[in-house]
Each structure stands twice: as structure tokens, then as C-alpha cells.
Amino acid sequence: MKVRLSEIAHARSGDKGDTVNIGLIAYRPEDYPLLVREVTAERVKAHFGELVKGEVERYELPNLHALNFLLHEALGGGGTLSLRVDAQGKTFGAALLRLEIER
Amino acid sequence: MIRIANGQGFWGDWLEAPVRLLEQGPVDYLALDYLAEITMSIVQKQKQQDPRLGYARDFPPLIGRIAKRIRERGVKVVANAGGVNPIACAEEVRRLAPGLKVAVVLGDDLYPRLDDLLARGHELRNMETNQPLTAIRNRILSANAYIGAFPVAEALSTGADVVIAGRCTDTALTLAPMIHAFGWQPDQFDLLAAGTVAGHIIECGAQCTGGNCQVDWMSIPDLANIGYPIVEAEANGVFQVTKHKGTGGRVTADVIKEQLLYELGDPEKYLTPDCCADFTSIQLQDLGEDRVRVYGVRGGPPPEQLKVSISYAWGFKAVGTLVYSWPQALKKAQAADRIVRERLAQLGLTFDEIYTEYLGYNACHGPAAQPVADPAEVQLRIGVRAPDRNAVDRFTRELIPLVLSGPPTATGFGDGRPPVREVVAYWPALLARDEVKTSVEVLT
């Protein structure tokens, strides 16, 4: 059965240079292992396609039932160089919540 | 227990927030965070034009406005409003709020020392590209070391009502009052990490009290009167995050988690000049009624080098927009984009980048978006960046002609040509700690 991430998790994203970070947080602790299993760095990289030119790294924070993703080369240069409307990556978290995973 | 409030998450945040924090309940320390990475270059330019400027200009009038109340209640203000001219900032505070004791933290500004540092073999290589600083030496606008909480705590120990720092870390504004009040030592890394985590939570103001929060956002009450955050800290490193009673917003464990993850890198290595905080050790307990307890934080020693924030003149950019309406709004916008690019190419102009987005279609989420088939309107947004100002300036003249000479139903050109903006780029580097000597100066 498929479930959209927005139904089981929330997120916040921000920037550091040309890197976007996305914190993905399970609403319920019991869904955290599902995030760990399904939302891999590779899937996140594929989800964002051409928006993310560099690698995607993933860190686990089991204490917060959360994953932290670093999306490198994702802001068209980042900071003041970026020509994107979302130059600070503020909406990347919401974009990740569109992802559908196998429950 | 001490109460530390954050009343400003960046220069440009809600002007009423710090005033309300003082009016609506008890506060011992008021932390105000004014500096983003790019802010230092802005204030450096202002100082070049007028040596009495070069700091966050919103700050002295705010202190003038709240001076009576902070004096009556003994509230201490801690702010990184000093920019590249903290003494001038302090003098303006003294002019607008006479009678307040003001302490200034000095030593972060490396701009006057750059040639000396380079001559002595400090390469200040870009942490991302590994280029040495000499590659951009003649274009540098500002250079500041990030300093930690201990120099700020030293300034508090002078008994000052207002402490003004330049480029200290955002978290230092919250940690410094704890060091000052509890006598924490430089080797008590768990305690310093706890104070750093507290600082991380409140440094973006209302972003930890319900602002920009995805958790059931429509049910978050009264964002118009949102309460800014308050940390109630104990000497043992345990603290609670809350806001004044009767204010808008929400403080729950979910809200705090979102902010803990904000702008986070490796969660086990949150580095500051004071310590290395481990975010995987943080424990949260939701106490209800807009109150979250934070405990269990562990930390280790800080890195041997300090981060240095350097800004330099890169070139120029401009962003222009046009709106196309149904039918085929997207196809019209795409056709217009092709025309602009062809005309720029015919002029022989070269750009570092030309970037096109279609707002209302997929500008924010790109390939992840699920756009509607034939939207009511689409905003074409074209940005260009180039070292050559003339190329960028010519681009700004190429959009409006399309209203009459391009695809039909173009509108949204009322503001005329877009402005050419200078691009100030950011150069992160590292420097040995012992090169940065801080000091405190008191103005009375």
C-alpha cells in the first residue's frame, strides 16, 4: 500500500551555501523505521531530479524520529548568486513530502 | 533559573516582537540576532560610505524605545547588532538611551588584518572550492571570524545593560547569559552544548513558536500576535522552551523538532567556537500548555580553527518577470523565454547563467511538482548573472518589448524594468583560533 510522506511526516528545509538541508520528521514514533527504510538518499536524489546537481547525504536522528538530508549543489550557486525564486531552499521540505512510499 | 528571550531572528524581523516580549511577561535576558552571512558585506559598504555607519541601524532606535523598561526591570540585552562598527553602534545607543551601560565585544573583524594574515601564511582557502583567498584579494568587502559565547559572557560580567557584538555566532547570544549566570567553564562541554542547542532553537525567533510550521498550520492560533520564544534555563543544562501566556502561536515537541532540524548539517557535529554539540543526544518532553522540556544534551570540545566569513564583489544580476494568462499560459511563457534568449544571443552578450522559471507551474518543486494541465496564469521569471554590468543592464530592457512583440496576453509589467543588483558572494574559510584575540570595551 502506498502512502504519501505528507500523511506520516512533516519537514522543514533551509540553506547553507549551495546546499539545502531537509529535516524529515515522523509524526508518530512507530513510522520512523518506515522513513529509515524507504526514504533513502538515492530516492531523494531521484525525486528532485535536475534541481539537485550534487550528492545527497542522509543522517539519522532516532531520538527525534527524524532524518536529515543534505542536498548539495541544489540552489543554483546558493546565497546571493542564486537566480532561483526559492534561493534559500525554503520549499524543498514541502516538495519532499510529495514523495509516495511503500508502507 | 534564568529566562532568555529571542526577539529578533534576523535583521528585518518583526519590529514589535522585542517590545512585546518585555511587556507581556517576565524576561531576564533579551537576545537579538541581526546578522546573516550576507549582512556583513552590506554593513561594510555602508561604513565605506559613512564611517559612522556599518551596523544594524534598527537596533539603536529599538533600545531607545525599550530603555525605560529594561532599566526598571533589570533586563540585559545581548545583540550581534554591531556589524563591522560595534563602537559606532554603541555610541548611537548611548545617544538614544542615555544612562544605559553599554559593553562592546571586539576582535572579530579581520578586514584590516587580511594582508598581515596572508603574509604570515594563512591562506584562508574557500571551504567549498579550496581556492586560496589571494584569488579574490582585491574584491574583498568584509572578513570576520565567528567568535563564541565566552567573550560575550565577559561583556555581561561588566554589569552592562546592553552588550553589542559583531560577528559572534547566533547561538552565543543565548549561551552567553547561561555562562554568565551559572559560571559554566570552557571545559564543561555537555553544559555548553545544552546552551548551544537552546540557542539554535530560539535564534530564528518565532520559527520555534509556530511560525513557518507545517504541523497542522491552519490550526495554529493568532499568528498575528505570535509570541516570540523564551528559554527557561537551569544551571544543570536542562531547559524549557515556552512563550508568554496569551500570545499567539504554538510550542509543542513537533514544532521544536522542526527548528532543531533547521539548517542542520551532521547532527553529531554541530560545531561552534565553544563546543561540538551532539544533536542525536537531545531529548524532548512535551509538558503541554506551550512548554517543551529539553534535556540529555551531550557535547565535546570545539574545533581548533574558527570559521571566517568573507564577502567579496562577484558581479551583477537581475531578475525580470512577465505574466501570461490562459489559454496555453505555459506555452506562451516558454515561447517568450526562447525569444529573450535568442535576442540576447544576437547581441553577443554572454552570461554566467540565464535561469528561467515558471511560477504557478513548477518553479519551487521542479520535477517533484505535479503541475495543473492548463493553468489560469503563469509567471515567467528570468534571471541572469554576469561579471559585466552592461550585459545585465541590457537584459533588463529585453522583457517589456514582448508585451507588444511576443506571444499574446502578457501582463504584469507595471513596475517597469527590473533593477540591476550587485552580487556580493560569500567565501567561508578557517583560521587558527589563536589568531583571534577578543576584548571588551565599556561605554559609560
Measure B253 CA to nearest chain A CA, in Å. 9
Domains held by chain A: number: 1
Whether B178 and B273 map to the same domain: the answer is yes
DSSP state of B343: H
How many residues are there in chain A? 103
Q: Three-state SS for B99?
A: coil
Beta-sheet strand order (sheet of B102-106): B283-286, B291-295, B239-242, B230-233, B2-8, B29-32, B76-79, B162-164, B102-106, B439-443
Q: Judge whether B433 lies within some domain.
A: no
Measure A103 CA to nearest chain B CA, in Å. 20
Within an 8 Å CB–CB cutoff, is residue A31 touching chain B?
no
What phi and psi, each to the nearest 5 degrees, are found at residue B409?
Answer: 70, 30
Within an 8 Å CB–CB cutoff, is residue A91 touching chain B?
yes
DSSP state of B109: B
Q: What percent of chain B has pLDDT over 70?
A: 100
| Statement: residue A86 has pLDDT above 90 | yes
- Residue by residue, DSSP assigns B130-148 as ---GGGGGGGEEEEEE-B-
Closest of B319, B398, B391 to residue B359, by C-alpha:
B319
- What does the alpha-carbon distance between residue B33 and residue A73 come to, in Å, rounded to a whole number? 27
Number of Cβ atoms within 10 Å of the Cβ of B105: 28
Number of Cβ atoms within 10 Å of the Cβ of B229: 35
Q: What does the pLDDT read at residue B159?
A: 97
Whether B220 and B368 map to the same domain: the answer is no
Q: Judge whether B210 lies within some domain.
A: yes
- Please, what is the angle between helix B172-182 and helix B149-156, to 10°? 50
CB nearest to B266's CB, from A47, A59, A76:
A59
Whether B190 and B207 map to the same domain: the answer is yes
- What does the alpha-carbon distance between residue B420 and residue B413 come to, in Å, rounded to a whole number? 16
Closest of B39, B52, B48, B45 to residue B12, by C-alpha:
B39
What tens digit of pLDDT does each residue of B13-58 get?
Answer: 999 999 999 999 999 999 999 988 778 888 988 998 999 999 999 9
Looking up cell 545585465, which residue turns up?
B392
CB nearest to B279's CB, from A16, A47, A61:
A61
Q: What does the pLDDT read at residue B414?
A: 82
Q: What does the pLDDT read at residue B85?
A: 95
Instruction: Pull the grid cell for residue B193.
Output: 552544548
CB nearest to B128's CB, from A17, A49, A62:
A17
Domains held by chain B: number: 2
Q: What does the pLDDT read at residue B185?
A: 98
Whether B226 and B360 map to the same domain: the answer is no
What is the pLDDT averaged over residues B265-286? 98
Q: Would you say B186 and B150 are in contact if contact means Cβ atoms under 8 Å apart?
A: yes
Q: Judge whether B340 lies within some domain.
A: yes
CA atoms within 13 A on the CB side of B205: 22
Whether B271 and B332 map to the same domain: the answer is no
Q: Would you say A96 and A53 are in contact if contact means Cβ atoms under 8 Å apart?
A: no
Q: Would you say B218 and B273 are in contact if contact means Cβ atoms under 8 Å apart?
A: no
pLDDT band at B62 (very low <50, low <70, confident <90, very high): very high
Q: Judge whether B444 lies within some domain.
A: no
Q: Would you say B315 and B161 are in contact if contact means Cβ atoms under 8 Å apart?
A: no
Which residues of chain B lie closer than 8 angstroms to A62, CB-CB?
280
Q: Would you say B144 and B111 are in contact if contact means Cβ atoms under 8 Å apart?
A: yes
What tens digit of pLDDT does each residue of A23-70 get?
Answer: 999 999 999 999 999 999 999 999 999 999 999 999 999 999 999 999
Q: Which amino acid is at B194?
A: A
Q: Which residues, other chains included, contact A21 with Cβ-Cβ below 8 Å and sequence gap of 6+? A: A13, A14, A15, A68, A69, A70, A71, A89, B261, B262, B263, B264, B265
Q: What does the pLDDT read at residue B371?
A: 83
DSSP state of B288: S
Q: What does the pLDDT read at residue B351?
A: 98
Whether B248 and B352 map to the same domain: the answer is no
Distance of CA B5 to the CA centre of its chain: 17
Within an 8 Å CB–CB cutoff, is residue A54 touching chain B?
no
Q: Which residues, other chains included, contact B284 with Cβ-Cβ below 8 Å and sequence gap of 6+? A: A64, B253, B256, B257, B292, B293, B294
Q: Would you say A56 and A71 are in contact if contact means Cβ atoms under 8 Å apart?
A: yes
Q: What is the CATH classification number for the domain harbouring B338?
A: 3.30.70
pLDDT band at B84 (very low <50, low <70, confident <90, very high): very high
Q: Judge whether B127 lies within some domain.
A: no
- What does the alpha-carbon distance between residue B255 and residue B125 come to, in Å, rounded to a whole number? 38
Whether B257 and B286 map to the same domain: the answer is yes
Whether B268 and B166 map to the same domain: the answer is yes
Q: What does the pLDDT read at residue A35?
A: 98
What is the pLDDT averaged over residues B390-406? 96
Please report which helix (H) or strand (E) contains residue B321, including its range: strand B305-325
What phi and psi, each to the nearest 5 degrees, are found at residue B267?
Answer: -65, -20
Range of the domain at A30: 2-102
Instruction: Pull the grid cell for residue B86.
Output: 560595534
Number of Cβ atoms within 10 Å of the Cβ of A102: 9
Q: Which amino acid is at B6?
A: N
The mean predicted confidence, pLDDT, of chain B is: 96
What tens digit of pLDDT does each residue of B162-182 get?
Answer: 999 999 999 999 999 999 999
Q: What does the pLDDT read at residue B271?
A: 98
Q: Three-state SS for B13?
A: coil
Q: What percent of chain A has pLDDT over 70?
A: 100
Q: Judge whether B139 lies within some domain.
A: no
Q: Would you say A12 and B214 are in contact if contact means Cβ atoms under 8 Å apart?
A: yes
Whether B174 and B53 map to the same domain: the answer is yes
How many residues are there in chain B? 444
Of the candidates B303, B331, B348, which is a domain's last residue?
A: B303
Q: Judge whether B213 lies within some domain.
A: yes
CB nearest to A10's CB, from B214, B353, B364:
B214
Instruction: Pull the grid cell for residue B350.
Output: 554572454
Question: How far from each other are the two terminal CA atoms of chain A, in whole angstroms?
Answer: 6
Instruction: Pull the grid cell for residue A4.
Output: 504519501
Measure A28 CA to nearest chain B CA, in Å. 10
Q: Which amino acid is at B429?
A: A
Question: Do the chains contact at A15 and B263, CB–CB below 8 Å?
Answer: yes
- What does the alpha-carbon distance between residue B444 and residue B442 come to, in Å, rounded to a whole number? 6
Choose, out of A45, A59, A60, A88, the residue to mutate when testing the contact with B (most B CBs < 10 Å).
A59
Q: What is the CATH classification number for the domain harbouring A10?
A: 3.30.70
What is the pLDDT averaged over residues B419-441? 95
Within an 8 Å CB–CB cutoff, is residue A80 touching chain B?
yes
Q: Which residues, other chains included, contact A46 with Cβ-Cβ below 8 Å and sequence gap of 6+? A: none
Instruction: Pull the grid cell for residue B129.
Output: 572550492
Q: What does the pLDDT read at residue B42?
A: 84
Whether B287 and B176 map to the same domain: the answer is yes
Whether B260 and B328 map to the same domain: the answer is no
Of the candidates B280, B303, B326, which is a domain's last residue?
A: B303
Question: Do the chains contact at A21 and B367, CB–CB below 8 Å?
Answer: no
Q: Judge whether B443 lies within some domain.
A: no
CB nearest to B353's CB, from A23, A48, A83:
A83
Range of the domain at B390: 311-427
Q: Three-state SS for B441?
A: strand
Q: Which residues pair with B316 in a beta bridge?
A: B386, B422
Q: Three-state SS for B405?
A: helix
Measure B142 CA to nearest chain A CA, in Å. 15
Whether B278 and B184 map to the same domain: the answer is yes
Q: What does the pLDDT read at residue B36?
A: 80
Q: Three-state SS for B299?
A: strand
What tens digit of pLDDT does each residue of B219-264 get?
Answer: 999 999 999 999 999 999 999 999 999 999 999 999 999 999 999 9
